[in-house]
Amino acid sequence: MLAKLTQVVESVSTSEFALKTIFVNPDHVITIIEDDRIQGLNRRQPLLEGLDQTHGFSRIAISSGGTQSRLITVVGSPETVMEALQNDKRQLIRG
């Protein structure tokens, strides 16, 4: 079962931010840590209109096979992201 998360995407050329819905396989998540840089930017000034300045952000490492991994930033504290990943696993077990 895939977990639905909201990714924070930063445009390199304009330094603007966008949100995207992504689906992640919980079995491929290696680490989840707070993204202090994005969190600090959002506290100074919301990254997007309507985004609360108290939102947490996490950086997750996703295994891409072999020794490759990909880092992405998502909305939510590490605890919130972990809950979302675990909830989807429980649904699969019950399924």
pLDDT of 50: 83
Assess contact for 69 and 61: CB atoms under 8 A. yes
In the predicted structure, residue 94 carries a pLDDT above the cut 50: no
- How much is the pTM? 0.84
The average pLDDT across 26-33 equals 95
* 9 has a pLDDT exceeding 80: yes
- The answer, yes or no, to whether residue 43 has pLDDT greater than 90, is yes
Mean pLDDT is highest, among 15-19, 31-35, 42-46, 63-67, for: 31-35
Cβ–Cβ under 8 Å, residues 35 and 66: no
Going by C-alpha positions, the residue among 60, 22, 57, 61 that lies closest to residue 41 is 57
Predicted local confidence at residue 60, as pLDDT: 97
pLDDT at 86 over 80: yes
